[in-house]
Amino acid sequence: MRFLKPYWWQVILLILAMGAQVWTTLQLPALMANIINDGIVTGNTDYIVQAGWQMIGLAIVSAICSFVASYLSAAVGANYARDLRFAVFEKVISLNLEDLKNFNTASLTNRTTNDINQVQNAVMMILSMMLRAPIFCILALVMAIQTAPDMTWIIAVGVTAILLTVIIIMVTVIPKFKLFQKMIDRVTLLTRENLTGLKVIRAFNNEEAEKKKFVQANDELTRLIMFVEKIMKLTNPLINVIFNGTTLLCVYIGITLLSKDFAYLGDMSAFAQYVAQVMMSFLMLSILFVMLPRANVSAGRINEVLNTKTRIHWKEQTNGVPEKTPSVEFKNVDFRYAEADGKVLDNISFKAVAGQTTAFIGSTGSGKSTLVNLVPRFYEPTHGEILINGVNIKDYKQDDLMQKIGFVPQRGMLFSGTVESNIKFGAPNATDAQVRQSAKIAQADGFIEKMPKKYKAHIAQGGSNVSGGQKQRISIARAICKNPDIFVFDDSFSALDMKTDKKLREALVPITRNAVVLVVAQRVSTIKNAEQIIVLDNGKIAGKGTHAKLLCNCKVYQDIVKSQLSDAEYESELKLAQKQKASSMDNIDGRTVLKEAYA
Amino acid sequence: MPRPHEQDNTGKVKNTKHAFRIFIKSLKRYRLAIIIAMTLSVGSSLLNIFTPKLLGDMTNIAVTTYPEINFGAIMRIIWLVIGLFVGAGILNYLQGYILAVVAARYTKALRERIIDKINKLPVSYFDTHKYGDVLSRMTNDIDVLATSLSQEITDLTGYITTIVGVMVIMLTISVPLSLIAFIVVPISVAVVGRIVRFAQKFFLARQTILGELDGRIEEDYAGGVIIKSNSYEKNAIAEFDKINQKLTVATKKSQIFSSLSYPVTHIFTNIGYVAICALGGTFVVEGRINIGDIQAFIQYVSSFNRPITELAQTMSTIQSLLASSERIFEFLAEPEEDPDVEPALVIDNVKGAVEFHDVCFSYDKETPVIRNFSVKVKPGQKVAIVGPTGAGKTTIINLLMRFYEPDSGYITIDGAPTREMKRTDVRKMFGMVLQDTWLFNGTVEENLRYGNLKARHADIVKAAKTSNVHHVIEALPKSYKSEIAEDSDNISAGEKQLITIARAMVANPPMMILDEATSNVDTRTEQLIQDSFEKLTRHRTSFVIAHRLSTIRNSDLILVMRDGAVVEQGNHVELLKLNGFYAELYNSQFAEK
């Protein structure tokens, strides 16, 4: 509600307009009563014309007020939604991965879109209907008492009848709605299963069994629908009967009162209209009460995001002077998710230096991806420290740290725009030549040149118009174009085929001569030549060293290699490794020679 | 493979006449019920129409007999009126009740027909149609049918009856006064209609911007890591703000017009009232009409307004009803799999000799996928299918299982052509373990029993043990009774694969089809999977889409696929000697030595 504050004067204006509208609307039946009493009955045609003009005038005023009120409620609702949407978006963008752990992207998107729309509708309805109902009631009561005080009790009878009907129907039906949703979900689920499991179902010849399951769910659903509908269908006839009944009551009472005063003749039809309008506003109000809980759920979901506190606080200014030579050092780093028991990373220490590749391998859940996500401070270690270029990452200003890192996530992520705008995402001032060069290294130049507008080719939302492998290569180009001190490849090569993977790694060599390269990989072939391989098992370091060394003495690494090679190949690899180790030529391996050649 | 069809979700009917005919035809069974409901609705509207007239008569009696009011006459009318509106209410409820039942039964039957259809369509249908499309017919379109069926049909008859009836009564009261109403009301409806149509344009514009904004939000949230690591937050927020502002402006614009419609109606209604009062007043003075009649008349004018506006609304609902029914019946009319030949061949004691005779196949008629492919597999042999992703390895499996039929040529099992057998009998001979580990929502045991619905618990446990998944299941909180849900994370991808293997083991078929999973399985589970794959294929003719060199090298026969065609066949040694595509593939795996 605090988002309504800036619009208080609009809300006040709205209430005034609404009051005026309600008042004028209520004058109309009174005027009509006068026309009947003083005009028609007495045959005073002049009066009829005069009151008629008054009526039209009032109707116009009322219409204007009604327009102002309903426009203002919409405008305030729109402004409110805009502010709320902005606040949520800003919050989500500024929060860290760790803070957002409990939400997935779809749910966050939903909260920023659908939920806010729900709340916006609720605000509009509160402003138009909920405010109007009490104003209407009070003024109508005043008018009713003025015109015919003896008939006021009819309003109470009518309103009570309406409320009772609505409440009774809602109480019987609303609990069934939840069940209804559940059954609808079940039918949808079974349909989806039949579609996604099409081949399996046919392979096992289980079409009949599936049909039986579906028919059962369908029957249950149909039975419930019939039950709910049979009750819901009561609403309209009942409400009609109540409206007609009260009108009849008004006329009847009016006629009995006629013996006292002939003026009741006009009054009773005016009165009947007041009663109908008051009852109408109560009806609207009760509908509102059915819809509000839904908006309330949405508001709660939005607040969950807005109330999320970040656990990572950046320095305003970088403390200390980072060294010129890039390096990444982990000192006894532990990490565990807040509220979780098990450590994801346990006592990790290593140093990665410029010009070398440090690779991380291990099974799913071993923590390798989490580890590299600590480097750009997406998560905060629970214990230990991380030094980048000799300075603790906690002492960096956010932009200073990010500028040093070229991060390539597991899934290639692109933004709508052009190929060029995507590559220049982290380096807005890059020249055309730099963009082309980056694409070339990332092995992306081939397919980009084939696109109709080349580097100016349009990229659709989320990069949905290019393939997975192409997306990945453009994201690699984006990191290269930034010319960072530290490259982080979080399993970025698995979407590429072996050949491209190999070519790309060769092309990276010259530009990473003065950079730290951190690589998470699934395939042994991707990281075989890394200067340092860190094997992770359940969050702990199970081995550290070169391919050859690990193959000889690290059980976990051996298992990984075995699972990817045939037995014979594994044997030959092992022999090769042992030979290499024996010749103790660890320092001058093929990679160094290759590098020399490039230099 | 062909591109999926562009989905047409605009809610427009393509062929109104045809759609209408089919929809009406589909309601045949409920014809009587619907006619009764419509009659009831007409009756209920007619009863309602007389109320204001009678109330007016009451006033007339009061005025003419004043001051000695004739209460006897008035009471008679009161009872009549009560009888009328209670009667109208009862008729109204009855028609609602009948239609609710009709709509529920009708949609229930439709849902069953859709699910039947899904299981009778050829697999190839889903190469060109998205699942979501079929699903939306089952949910959204059926929903549209249900609500409009139980509402609109009788609303329509009710509105028309009311309009006609009210017009008649108004004319009987006073022709000149009726003329005023007949002029004012349609003008007001037309003006409001214009405004609404104008507003629609702005609503559409708003919808477009809303879509843009939603897209932006989704994209930025998904790419949060990239935004952060490139210090792009400020730009992202600024870009978002621009669209957000645009949306707000568009929303307000669209609201200006929709806020206009009620006040405009209001003004017109009141002008009508005044005109009627003024003219009516002079008539009363002249003695041409009674006061009660004027009161009644004013009520009729107000009850005349609503059905006309609603009628326009109903017309657009009927449009969307027809669009939905068209989409549903279009789906139901899709050609089904060819029926099995009669009488079908039956083979007992399957040995497992499989032969492809000159098989040609294409997904669409232009691009042949498999050309004159022949191969002979002896009973118990292990066949590996290899090739790069997208080479069409699954095509072979699709043909074996008769998910697709060859364009020419045929496949035999133990010498008998599969096309002359029942599809179910062909499929019964194979067990299938796919990479896509499809499990349904249900307990572990139910999922395992899927292989053979008659299997006993002991058989299931035995199969689970052989598939190395018994201990995993035992570790679950409710063991074999644990629920598997789509998003359940208590079971890993590798374990799911083990369960599908056990499922095939429960079926215990004479032949096997396997698709090896590639990645995202931890080392230990990977070994378990390999081991159970090995057990599954022992002594059985088996076809494996292979990714592991070890599997490939142990195979009796390797089919090498490229760009959808089988380019080489033979065993590992023979193929290496060929020094062709297979050798290239094999070497690229470990080229860096």
**Could you tell me the residue ranges of all domains in chain A?**
2-306, 327-598
Tens-digit pLDDT profile for residues B155-182: 788 888 888 888 888 888 888 888 888 8
**Which CATH code, of 1.20.1560.10, 3.20.20.70, 1.20.120.160, 3.40.50.2000, is assigned to B9-173+313-337?**
1.20.1560.10
> What is the average pLDDT score of chain B?
81
Considering A63-77, B137-151, B185-199, B259-273, the range whose residues carry the highest mean pLDDT is A63-77
- Give the residue from chain B lying closest to A415, CA to CA: B219
Q: Which CATH class is domain A327-598?
A: alpha beta
Distance from CA of B112 to the nearest CA of A (A): 7
Q: Which residues contact residue A420 at a Cβ distance below 8 angstroms, ignoring those fewer than 6 apart? A: A435, A455, A456
Host H or E run for residue A519? strand A516-520
CA distance B319 to B12: 7
Q: What is the pLDDT of residue A598?
A: 42
What would the DSSP string read from start to end of B267-289? HHHHHHHHHHHHHHHHHHHHTSS
Distance from CA of A416 to the nearest CA of B (A): 8
Tens-digit pLDDT profile for residues A41-99: 676 777 777 878 888 888 888 888 888 888 888 888 888 888 889 888 888 888 877 77
For residue B466, give both structure tokens. 């052989």
Tens-digit pLDDT profile for residues B15-39: 778 888 888 888 888 989 989 998 9
Q: What is the pLDDT of residue A263?
A: 63
Q: Does A542 touch chain B (CB under 8 A)?
A: no
Q: What is the pLDDT of residue B593?
A: 32
On whether the CB atoms of residues A252 and A150 are closer than 8 A, the answer is no
How far is Cα of residue B446 from the mean position of the Cα atoms in its chain? 26
Q: Does A525 touch chain B (CB under 8 A)?
A: yes
Q: pLDDT exceeding 90 applies to what percent of chain A?
A: 2
pLDDT at B377 over 50: yes
Domain residue extents for chain B: 9-173+313-337, 175-288
What would the DSSP string read from start to end of A297-338? HHHHHHHHHHTPPPS---BSS--S---SS-EEEEEEEEE--T
Residues 199-238 of A with CB under 8 A from B: 199-207, 209-211, 214-215, 218-219, 221-222, 225-226, 229-230, 232-234, 236-238
- Number of helical (H) and strand (E) elements in chain A, helices listed first: 21, 12
Distance from CA of B19 to the nearest CA of A (A): 25
For residue B480, give both structure tokens. 């074999």
On whether the CB atoms of residues B174 and B297 are closer than 8 A, the answer is yes
Chain B residues whose CB is inside 8 A of the A465 CB are none
Chain A residues whose CB is inside 8 A of the B134 CB are 191, 195
For residue A589, give both structure tokens. 């391996």
Residue pairs between chains A and B whose CB atoms are closer than 8 Å: 383
C-alpha pair distances (Å), B388 with each of A299, A330, A475: 50, 40, 24
Considering A338-342, B353-357, B578-582, the range whose residues carry the highest mean pLDDT is B353-357
Residues 34-93 of A with CB under 8 A from B: 35-36, 39-41, 43, 45, 48-49, 52-53, 55-56, 58-60, 62-64, 66-67, 70-71, 74-75, 78-79, 81-82, 85-86, 89-90, 92-93
What would the DSSP string read from start to end of B87-116? HHHHHHHHHHHHHHHHHHHHHHHHHHHHHH
The residue-averaged pLDDT of B196-209 equals 81
Is the ipTM higher than 0.85? The answer is: no
The residue-averaged pLDDT of B383-391 equals 76
Host H or E run for residue A255? helix A207-258
Tens-digit pLDDT profile for residues B115-132: 888 888 888 887 777 777
Q: Do B403 and A478 touch (CB under 8 A)?
A: no
User: Which positions of chain A have pLDDT values less than 70?
Assistant: 1-2, 40-41, 43, 147-148, 258-266, 290, 338-342, 364-365, 494-495, 497-498, 563-569, 580-599
How far is Cα of residue A432 from the mean position of the Cα atoms in its chain? 36
Residues 496-515 of B with CB under 8 A from A: 503, 507
Instruction: For the domain made up of A2-306, give the CATH fold.
Output: ABC transporter transmembrane region fold (1.20.1560)
Chain B residues whose CB is inside 8 A of the A556 CB are 523
Q: pLDDT exceeding 70 applies to what percent of chain B?
A: 91
Distance from CA of A123 to the nearest CA of B (A): 14
Q: What is the pLDDT of residue B518?
A: 52
pLDDT at B210 over 70: yes
Query: A6: cis peptide before it, omega within 30°?
Result: no
pLDDT at B526 over 80: no
SS3 A453: coil
Give the pLDDT band (50/70/90) at residue B6: very low
Q: What is the pLDDT of residue A266?
A: 66
Considering B25-39, B170-184, B506-520, B533-547, the range whose residues carry the highest mean pLDDT is B25-39
Q: Do B222 and A413 touch (CB under 8 A)?
A: yes
Better pLDDT: B221 or A340: B221
pLDDT at B64 over 80: no
CA distance B374 to B357: 5
Q: What is the 3-state secondary structure (H, E, C) of B518-534?
A: CCCCCHHHHHHHHHHHH
For residue A287, give both structure tokens. 């509908």
pLDDT at B90 over 90: yes
Q: What is the pLDDT of residue B87?
A: 92
Angle at A569 between CA A568 and CA A571, to 5 degrees: 65
Q: Do A364 and B521 touch (CB under 8 A)?
A: yes
Helices (H), B450-516: 457-466, 470-475, 493-507
Give the pLDDT band (50/70/90) at residue B260: confident
Chain A residues whose CB is inside 8 A of the B527 CB are 563
Query: A376: cis peptide before it, omega within 30°?
Result: no
pLDDT at B271 over 90: no
pLDDT at B577 over 50: yes
Q: Do B523 and A560 touch (CB under 8 A)?
A: yes
Chain A residues whose CB is inside 8 A of the B430 CB are 203
SS3 A405: strand
